[in-house]
C-alpha cells in the first residue's frame, strides 16, 4: 500500500496545495491502494511525498513517473497516442506556469498584509509551532522571487496584473480542449486531468482571498466548473483512509481544559439550587431536634454509675497475683535483682542492638543473649514492683475517709 504525505485539508478539499491535490487525483484515477497522511515536517516544502515500503519519492512529477514504472500508468489505460502525450505535456507546462503564478499572486502578493493573515489561518493547521514563524515567510519570499518579473498591463484604462491575463488564456485553452467530454482526452482520465484538477479545484473555490479567478471561470468557462465538480464528487465517493495530523501537546491540554470547563459549567447550570437549599434546611431542623431531644442527664448518670460500680479492689488483687506468679515461676530473688540492677549500665543497652550478630563468634553471641535475658528480667520485675506499689498506695487513698473536724468548744 502506498502512503502519501500531503499538506492538510482546506477549501473543502483534501489539500490546499495544487501538487498534493494532483498526486491524490492521480492515485484515485489509477485505482491504487493508498492512504493519506496529513503531514507536519521540516520537509513541508517538498510535499507531496510518496512512500512505498522503504522507498520514498518526493515532488509531484517524480511521484507520477514512479507510479507509472510500478504499473499504474493511466495514460496507457486512456490509450493516449504519442501526439496526445506531447499535447498533454504542453498543457501541463501551461498549467504549471500560468495557473500556478496566478494562484501564488492571490495567496501571497495581492494586498500582502491581508493575504498573509488569511494564509496563516490556512497553513497553521499543518505547521508545527516553530515552523509557523519561519516557513510561511520562506514560502512568501519564494513567491516574490518567482513573480519578480511580473508586469501590470493596461486593459480598458485599468492596470491589471499580467498573471490574470495569462490565467485567462490558460482557462480558454483548457476549456476548448475539454469541450463536452468527461476528461480532456475522452472518457478516461489521464495525467493531464490529475494536474489540471489539482490547480483548477482551488481556482474554483469562491472564498479565496480574492474571488477574481472564480469569477472569471464561473462566468466565462462553466464547463471547467462542472469538470471540477465531477472529480470532487469522485473524491468523496472514494473511501480514502485519512490519518489526521496529530495535535501538539499544548493543543491537547487546551482541549482537555475546555472539556473540563464545559463539564463543570453543565454541572453548575443543571444543579437544582432550590431543592438543595430546602434539603439543607431539613437537615438543620433534624439535627436541631436530635440535639434538643438528647437526654444529657441520663447519659451523665449512666457514666457516673459505671465509675462508681467498677471493682478496683478485685482488679488490683488480680494484678498483684500475676506479679507474684511471675516472680515465683522465674525463681528470681530480690538479692539477684538488686545486684543485677547495680551492675546494669543503661548506656550500653543500645550497643547490644547496634552490634550485628553476624560479626560475633559463638561465645560472644551466647554471652550477649544471657545479658539480654537477665536485663529483660530485671526490667520486667522492676516494672511489676512499680505497678504493685502504685496500686497499693492507690488502694489506701481510695479507703481514706475524709471526716469533718469537730466543732471547737468555746
Least trusted range by pLDDT, from 58-62, 237-241, 268-272: 268-272
For the residues 262-275, what does the mean pLDDT come to?
A: 76
For the residues 240-269, what does the mean pLDDT come to?
A: 67
Query: DSSP assignment, residue 183?
Result: B
For the residues 57-86, what does the mean pLDDT come to?
A: 95
Q: Is the pLDDT score of 144 beyond 70? A: yes
Domain boundary among 218, 247, 276: 247
Least trusted range by pLDDT, from 13-22, 52-61, 112-121, 145-154: 112-121
Q: Is the pLDDT score of 114 beyond 50? A: yes
pLDDT higher at 246 or 222: 222
pLDDT, residue 398, reads 42
108 and 232 within one domain: yes
Summary mean pLDDT of the chain: 78
- Which residues are CB-neighbours of 202 under 8 A, at least 6 positions away? 11, 13, 16, 18, 21, 103, 208
142 and 103 within one domain: yes
165 and 37 within one domain: yes
222 and 322 within one domain: no
54 and 86 within one domain: yes
Each residue's pLDDT tens digit, 348-381:
555 555 555 556 666 677 777 777 777 777 777 7
Instruction: For the chain, give the longest Cα–Cα distance.
Output: 155
Q: Is the pLDDT score of 402 beyond 50? A: no
Contact between 126 and 8 under an 8 Å Cβ cutoff? The reply is: yes
Decide if 409 is inside a domain: no
20 and 35 within one domain: yes
Decide if 200 is inside a domain: yes
Each residue's pLDDT tens digit, 304-334:
777 777 776 777 777 777 777 766 776 666 6
Decide if 374 is inside a domain: yes
Q: Is the pLDDT score of 401 beyond 50? A: no
317 and 295 within one domain: no
What's the per-residue H, E or C state across 226-287? HHHHHHHHHHHHCCCEEECCCCCHHHHHHHHHHHHHHHHHHHHHHCCHHHHHHHHHHHHHHH
Q: How confident is the model at residue 13 (pLDDT cuts 50, 70, 90)?
A: confident
Q: What share of the chain is helix, strand, coil (3-state, %, to 5)?
A: 70, 10, 25
* CA–CA separation, 153 and 146 (whole Å): 18
Q: Which residues pair with 154 in a beta bridge?
A: 159
pLDDT, residue 226, reads 95
Q: How confident is the model at residue 14 (pLDDT cuts 50, 70, 90)?
A: confident
Q: How confident is the model at residue 345 (pLDDT cuts 50, 70, 90)?
A: low
Decide if 152 is inside a domain: yes
* CA–CA separation, 13 and 228 (whole Å): 11
Q: How confident is the model at residue 298 (pLDDT cuts 50, 70, 90)?
A: confident
The reported pTM is 0.59
261 and 112 within one domain: no
* CA–CA separation, 189 and 73 (whole Å): 11
pLDDT higher at 251 or 99: 99
Decide if 410 is inside a domain: no
Beta strands, E only, 78-227 = 152-155, 158-161
Query: DSSP assignment, residue 14?
Result: S
Query: DSSP assignment, residue 406?
Result: P
pLDDT, residue 399, reads 43
Contacts 24+ apart (CB under 8 A), 193-196: 193/25, 193/29, 193/231, 194/22, 194/23, 194/25, 194/26, 194/29, 194/64, 194/74, 195/22, 195/60, 195/92, 195/95, 195/96, 196/91, 196/95
Contact between 215 and 9 under an 8 Å Cβ cutoff? The reply is: no
Q: Is the pLDDT score of 347 beyond 70? A: no
Q: How far apart are the first and last CA of the chain?
A: 127
For the residues 193-206, what does the mean pLDDT come to?
A: 93
Total domains present in the chain? 3
Which one of 173-177, 285-289, 353-357, 394-398 scores highest in mean pLDDT? Answer: 173-177
Q: How confident is the model at residue 44 (pLDDT cuts 50, 70, 90)?
A: very low
B/e letters for 238-260, b = 16+ CB within 10 Å, e = fewer, are eeeeeeebeeeeeeeeeeeeeee
Decide if 205 is inside a domain: yes
287 and 172 within one domain: no
Please compute, for residue 323, the number of CA atoms within 13 A of its CA located in the half-sphere on the CB side.
Answer: 18
Decide if 404 is inside a domain: no
380 and 367 within one domain: yes
Least trusted range by pLDDT, from 38-42, 322-326, 382-386: 38-42
Cell reading at 308: 462508681
pLDDT, residue 356, reads 52
Cell reading at 1: 500500500
262 and 153 within one domain: no
60 and 99 within one domain: yes
Decide if 406 is inside a domain: no
pLDDT higher at 80 or 253: 80
pLDDT, residue 205, reads 86
The percent of residues in the chain predicted with pLDDT above 70, rounded, is 71
State which residues form the domain around 160: 2-247
Q: Is the pLDDT score of 191 beyond 90? A: yes
For the residues 208-217, what does the mean pLDDT come to?
A: 86
Q: Provide the CATH number for the domain around residue 54.
A: 1.20.1050.130
pLDDT higher at 131 or 8: 8
pLDDT, residue 250, reads 43
Pairing of β 241-243 and β 34-38: parallel
| Apex 20 CA angle, 15 and 26, nearest 5 | 115
Amino acid at each position: 500500500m502506498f502512503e502519501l504525505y500531503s499538506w492538510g485539508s482546506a477549501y473543502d478539499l483534501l489539500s490546499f496545495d495544487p501538487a498534493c491535490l494532483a498526486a491524490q487525483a492521480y492515485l484515485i484515477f489509477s485505482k491504487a491502494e493508498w492512504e493519506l497522511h496529513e503531514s507536519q515536517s521540516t520537509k513541508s516544502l517538498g510535499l507531496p511525498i510518496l512512500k512505498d515500503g522503504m522507498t520514498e519519492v518526493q515532488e509531484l512529477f517524480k511521484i507520477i513517473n514512479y507510479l507509472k514504472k510500478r504499473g499504474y500508468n493511466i495514460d496507457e489505460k486512456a490509450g493516449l497516442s504519442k501526439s496526445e502525450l506531447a499535447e498533454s505535456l504542453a498543457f501541463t507546462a501551461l498549467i504549471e506556469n500560468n495557473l500556478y503564478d496566478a494562484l501564488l499572486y492571490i495567496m501571497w502578493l495581492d494586498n500582502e498584509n491581508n493575504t498573509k493573515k488569511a494564509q496563516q489561518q490556512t497553513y497553521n493547521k499543518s505547521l508545527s509551532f516553530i515552523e509557523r514563524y519561519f516557513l510561511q515567510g520562506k514560502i512568501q519570499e519564494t513567491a516574490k522571487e518567482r513573480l519578480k518579473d511580473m508586469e501590470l498591463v493596461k486593459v480598458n484604462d485599468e492596470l491589471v496584473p499580467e498573471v490574470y491575463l495569462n490565467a485567462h488564456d490558460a482557462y480558454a485553452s483548457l476549456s476548448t480542449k475539454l469541450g463536452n467530454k468527461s476528461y480532456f482526452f475522452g472518457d478516461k482520465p489521464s495525467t493531464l486531468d490529475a494536474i489540471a484538477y489539482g490547480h483548477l479545484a482551488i481556482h474554483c473555490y469562491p472564498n479565496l482571498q480574492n474571488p477574481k479567478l472564480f469569477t472569471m471561470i464561473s462566468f466565462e468557462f462553466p464547463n471547467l466548473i462542472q469538470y471540477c465538480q465531477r472529480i470532487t464528487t469522485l473524491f468523496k465517493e472514494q473511501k480514502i483512509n485519512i490519518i489526521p495530523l496529530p495535535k501538539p501537546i499544548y493543543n491537547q491540554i487546551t482541549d482537555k481544559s475546555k472539556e473540563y470547563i464545559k463539564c463543570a459549567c453543565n454541572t453548575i447550570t443543571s444543579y437544582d439550587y432550590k431543592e438543595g437549599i430546602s434539603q439543607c434546611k431539613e437537615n438543620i431542623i433534624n439535627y436541631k431536634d436530635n440535639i434538643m431531644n438528647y437526654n444529657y442527664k441520663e447519659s451523665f448518670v449512666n457514666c457516673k454509675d459505671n465509675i462508681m460500680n467498677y471493682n478496683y479492689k478485685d482488679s488490683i488483687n488480680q494484678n498483684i497475683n500475676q506479679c507474684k506468679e511471675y516472680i515465683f515461676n522465674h525463681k528470681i530473688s530480690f538479692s539477684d535483682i538488686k545486684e543485677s540492677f547495680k551492675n546494669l549500665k543503661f548506656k550500653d543497652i543500645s550497643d547490644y542492638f547496634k552490634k550485628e550478630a553476624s560479626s560475633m563468634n559463638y561465645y560472644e553471641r551466647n554471652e550477649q543473649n544471657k545479658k539480654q535475658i537477665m536485663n529483660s528480667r530485671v526490667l520486667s520485675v522492676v516494672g511489676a514492683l512499680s505497678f504493685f506499689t502504685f496500686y497499693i498506695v492507690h488502694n489506701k487513698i481510695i479507703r481514706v475517709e475524709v471526716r469533718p473536724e469537730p466543732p471547737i468548744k468555746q
